[in-house]
Amino acid sequence: MIQRLRRRVERNFIFPGCAARPRAVRSNAFGVQERRPEFGKLEASGRREVYVMTDLAPITYRGYYDVPRMFVLTYRGAQLLFDCPFEDDLDDYSAHYTVYRLPAEIDPPNVPSWYDLPALGTKIGAVPVSDVRFDSTRRQAVNTREIDRFAEQQRWFR
């Protein structure tokens, strides 16, 4: 799954001298030209929210009901666990992800049970589930622009 996402990202880089030039091209700091395809969702107001493919970071998830209910994201060199537990008293999932920073020695894809994973991490904040933007499949990647906004507001990395 992650390899497929990496290939999609790699396809969006064009090196100098290529014959094909996409419409939306810009050069990065290394002189490599990058095309930034747009995709997104159509909102009820008719306004289109545009996500750029390079703003996505791959995730590993466990549990899915409309959206991933627990996922791990490697972001700014840290492993972040987003946990949205089921609340028995509400008979529904929580409206917020609780965000934990996991120790570097934990390898979530190889952990057999994620049930105790939040206890191994340090709680650093909370994010409304409705504000986390996923890729079109809602299973492969998350938009890092939204994560940046919450990280700055809640000072996750200070």
Domain layout of the chain by residue ranges: 2-10+22-54, 55-154
How many angstroms separate the Cα of 156 from the Cα of each of 80, 85, 86, 118? Answer: 10, 21, 24, 16
Of 72, 90, 92, the closest CA to residue 82 belongs to 72
Give tens-digit pLDDT for 138-149: 888 998 888 888
Q: Is pLDDT above 80 for 97?
A: yes
**Per-residue confidence band for 101, with pLDDT thresholds at 50, 70 and 90:** very high
Mean pLDDT of 113-137: 90
Give tens-digit pLDDT for 4-21: 655 555 555 444 444 444
Please give the pLDDT value at position 55.
81
Q: Is pLDDT above 80 for 116?
A: yes
